[in-house]
Structure 1
Amino acid sequence: MLEQVLAILMFSLRTVPQRLGSVLTAVFGITGVVMVMVGVLSIGEGYKKTMKASGDPAVAMVLRSGADTEMMSGLSRQDTRIIKDHPAIKQVDGTPAAAAELFVIINLPKRGTGTDANVPLRGIQPQSYAVREKFEMLEGRFFEPGRNELIVGRGAVGQFEVELGKEIQVGANRWKIVGVFAEGGGVAESEMWTDAGVLQSAYRRGDTFQSMYIKLEDAARFTAFKSELIRDPRLRVKVMRQTDYYAEQSRTITTLVTALGAIIGTLMAAGAVFSAVNTMVTAVAARGREIATLRAIGFHRVPIVLSILVESTLLALAGGLIGGFIAYLLFDGFRTATMNFQSFSQVTFAFEVDAGLLAMGVFYSTVIGLIGGLLPAVQAVRSPVADALRSE
């Protein structure tokens, strides 16, 4: 049976040049399906990768009890002092690696469009650098505490009208950009940082903060650390791992993009299936007498069906590989910005076309090929041999 399948398949493939137009229509139809589907899903993968890179399981975030985001939170100076005294916090040069921070949203024009976007402006303390071990200064220098100076993430530089040495108007004050930093590809690269005390004064926040970032001596101590802070009668706080916080932040956008990709992929796949069916029906009709001759000289129906299915699958597989390759060239690493629906600020990220998405695209194309070849294969062996042999 295997020999019969191979013999019929080789015969079919040799006739491809005679039906090249219909074959290319099917292949490139599937190419388009896979390219678009992988391209759309790469948005969610890139966003999720950015959020994942932002988290450190040894870093805890402390917000006000009941707050889901930094924007909704508020901590007093007394709260931050109590939290910093906890023995589970890592000591760096004799100082607890714990930083109280502010988070506000400012409007800046997007690069190349002129439209305004919500950009995060974070007020930090000197200990913030110790908490974020992936921090790296790329250009310029650190801002000087007490002055209206900013450092900006490299993602923000690529997407918004900010650059080293430029002055921008924020509220009633002008601020000078003195440095550009990286933070391991995480969401912090979408932000602008300044001295927390200066930001408190500029936005009339008094002596309050919105969150605390804390580096634990051991990530395994998080559960005990969380339990002790929550039980402390002096505090009303919510404690979570930084990884969990950013995973929650990414859930809305990844769910939306995945659903959108599934809808687009399904609609386009329906068209690709019809294209594949049409191609294989044409191929079978053109070889009607040859197939009937094969059956008359002893070839079984099953090898004929299998050979048609294999041919259809090979064509679809070729389309899937081409589509995945084009999607990788066009989308992988493409940088953009989108809305974080939890903080209502822009997050810069790069599209991510990884091996999992490419494998999904190839699998998707294979399924389309199998479905597209099934009906023509069944029709090929159901036609009476005598009628097929008499056909022109």
Structure 2
Amino acid sequence: MKKKLWLWNLLSILLLAIGLVVWIMLPWYVVLGLAVLVGAWLLLTRPGRLSLAAARVGIASLPQRWGASSVIIVGIAGVVGVLVAMLAMGEGFQATLKGTGSEQTAIILRGGSQAETNSVITRDQLPLISTLAGVAKDAQGRAALSAELSQVVNLPVASTGEDANAQFRGVSDAAWGVRPQIRIIEGRKFNVGVREIVVGQGARNQYRGLEVGKTLRLGNQAWTVVGVFASGDAFDSEIWTDIETLASAYDRRAYQSVTIKLDGKDGFKQLKAALDADPRLKLDVQTTVDYYSKQSEGLAKLIKILGTVIGTIMAIGAVFGALNTMYAAVAGRAREIATMRAIGFRGLPVVMAVMLETMLLALLGGVLGGLIAWLVFNGYSVATLGSNFSQVVFQFKVSPDLLWTGLKWALGIGLVGGLFPALRAARLPITTALREV
């Protein structure tokens, strides 16, 4: 008998877990459809109207049980707040990198390279690349491309003073035309052949000593900050200088990447075909939007997994809190529930009444947690390591989709936390309950 009961409980928990996973994955229109069906049942059927009547009695008594009820609200708010904040971090990082690229530009790397850090493009390959089909021309008829170097340097973080990695990029003068979204917002551009740098607005805020006019030592040489630029993407986290000056300072004899402005909507296809047809160029090409999207995938997935795991652990705690609270509520209202049963309320309306009460508390907790996450974290700037082992400054992005996900988690917790107490209320013997004080 005990073994059967244990197996039944295990099966119930397993089915609930599967149901919760399915519930969290449901799109909004399916959830809306289910809500409409439940609403119609409550309003148009006799058991539904009895459920509403019983639920009103329980909800009316919430102020007398506010201390216990707040356990559910606060617990679920904590789960939703942490979950949404973690997912907002991943979404913000991914949005920053995805927004960095464009379908009108392409990046060339050494064949098989996944990022600039492990790519090498020799100097004699650059003239060959500039003649390929699909490469746009500038106003002077020159190939619109920028050969680039990426050097990781250490700079003190503004908040703590501890060293962190920053990306020091060497670019040609053509880089400004290839990336028209980048504009100088303070000072001026660097001069070619001089140890001058311009810094992204995110880097200026992230690191110390990057204000215009300041001098800093990089590669055992003094560099002067002459300007600040804004791009609204991952380049905001970088420091730029003339490529030949950077190559000389760090003894770099090859390039790492070439960023190209494509010639029309068929430019990428033409460029890829031309690269594949030239045996001298064992290089890979991607649109920059594809390249930066791939760079964000790994970290975004890791953050999502961590957020889900942490949220699940907290959700288990919130479920137990809801179970304890609702079991206590059912025990405290035993005589009230038994009286309703005695005057004609059957088991289903009683179950639904307790479930509606729990779901209301869960809804309040979900809204509170989502609101806190949005007020505290939406637009909050942080930095993390990117694909080139340098800091990328980005903002948390609390989107409507994430808030909706948090709300579904809240309702799922309320569903599990209220189900067993509701079933207990429906099975409560009337005569026994009426004798309880």
Match of 2:7 in 1: none
1:156 aligns with 2:203: yes
Q: Given the two structures, how large is their TM-score scaled by the length of structure 1?
A: 0.97
Q: Is the 8 A contact 2:133 2:267 kept in 1?
A: no
Question: Residue 63 of structure 1 contacts residue 237 of structure 1 at CA under 8 Å; is this kept in 2?
Answer: yes
Q: Is the aligned partner of 1:268 residue 2:298?
A: no
**What CA distance in whole angstroms lies between the structure 1 residues aligned with 2:75 and 2:279?**
65
How far 1:220 moved relative to its partner?
3.7
Provide the secondary structure at the position in 2 that maps to 1:82. Answer: helix
Whole-Å Cα distance in 1 between the matches of residues 283 and 63 of structure 2? 71
Q: Distance in 2 between matches of 1:210 and 1:349?
A: 24
**Separation in 2 of the partners of 1:240 and 1:287?**
66
Q: Residue in 2 aligned with 1:50?
A: 96
1:238 and 2:238 are equivalent in the alignment:
no
1:189 maps onto 2:231 in alignment: no
User: SS of the counterpart of 1:179?
Assistant: strand
Cα distance, 1:58 vs structure 2:
1.8
Question: Matched residues in 1 for 2:360 and 2:144: separation?
Answer: 58
Q: Equivalents in 2 of 1:220, 1:21: separation in Å?
A: 65
Residue 413 of structure 2 corresponds to which residue in structure 1?
Answer: 368
| 2:138 corresponds to 1:100 | no
Map of 2:10 onto structure 1: none
What SS does the aligned partner of 2:99 have?
Answer: helix
Distance in 2, matches of 1:285 and 1:66, equals: 66
Given candidates 297, 320, 336, the residue that maps to 1:251 is: 297
| Structure with greater proportional strand content | 1
Deviation at 1:179, TM superposition (A): 0.6
CA distance in 2, matches of 1:330, 1:379: 40
SS of structure 2 residue aligned to 1:76: coil
Q: Which amino acid aligns with 1:366?
A: L
Match of 1:165 in 2: 213
Residues 1:305 and 2:351 aligned together: yes
TM-score by length of 2: 0.87
1-structure distance, mates of 2:418, 2:295: 43
Give yes or no for contact 1:59–1:219 (8 Å, CA) kept in 2.
Answer: no
CA distance in 1, matches of 2:358, 2:266: 53
Check conservation: 1:37, 1:262, Cα contact below 8 A: yes
Partner of 2:251: 204
The CA deviation string for residues 107-146 of structure 1, in whole angstroms up to 9 with x for no partner, is 1111121111111111111111111121111111111111
Q: Which runs of 4+ in 1 moved over 2 A?
A: 218-221
Q: What does residue 171 of structure 2 align with?
A: 124
Deviation at 1:264, TM superposition (A): 0.6
Distance of 1:193 and 1:368 partners within structure 2: 49
1:347 equivalenced with 2:392 (yes/no): yes
* Contact 2:97–2:292, Cα closer than 8 Å, also in 1: yes
Structure 2 gap ranges (5+) = 1-46
- Contact 2:134–2:269 under 8 Å retained in 1: no
Q: CA deviation at 1:259?
A: 1.1
SS in 1 for 2:213: coil
Matched to 1:246, the amino acid is Y
Residue deviations 1:227-283 (CA, integer Å, cap 9, x gap): 221220221111112112112211221111111111110110001001111111111
Q: Which amino acid aligns with 1:258?
A: K
| 1:63 partner SS | strand
Q: Determine if contact 2:134/2:266 at 8 Å carries over to the other structure.
A: no
Name the amino acid aligned to 1:177: V
Amino acid in structure 2 at the alignment position of 1:26: I
Q: Deviations over 1:191-224 (max 9, x none)?
A: 0000011111111123x21110011122443233
Cα distance in 2 between the residues matched to 1:87 and 1:116: 44
CA shift digits 1:152-194 (9 cap, x unpaired): 00110111112221111011210001111111x2111110000
Report the Cα offset of residue 48 of structure 1. 0.3
CA offset at residue 65 of structure 1? 1.5
Instruction: Name the CA distance, whole Å, in 2 between partners of 1:112 and 1:293.
Output: 63
**How many percent identity over aligned positions?**
43
Q: For residues 54 and 248 of structure 1, what CA distance do their matches in structure 2 show?
A: 12
Note the 1:17-166 alignment, pairs <5 A: 17-93=63-139, 94-161=141-208, 162-166=210-214
Name which of 266, 279, 282 aligns with 2:328.
282
Aligned partners of 2:177, 2:397: CA distance in 1, in Å? Answer: 29
Distance apart, 1:335 and its partner CA: 0.9
Query: CA deviation digits over 1:13-70, x for unaligned, max 9?
Result: 1101111110011100111111111111111111101101111012111011122211
Give aligned pairs, total.
389
Give the alignment of 1:307-322 within 5 angstroms. 307-322=353-368
State the 1:9 CA deviation: 1.0
Corresponding position of 1:384: 429
User: For 1:282, what is the secondary structure of its paired residue?
Assistant: helix
Q: How many Å separate the matches in 1 of 2:150 and 2:234?
A: 13
3-state DSSP class of the match of 1:327?
A: helix
Q: Is the 8 A contact 2:133 2:274 kept in 1?
A: no
Structure 1 CA distance for aligned equivalents of residues 363 and 265 of structure 2: 45
Distance, in Å, in 1 between the alignment partners of 2:62 and 2:187 is 61
Q: Which amino acid aligns with 2:102?
A: D
Q: CA deviation at 1:358?
A: 0.6
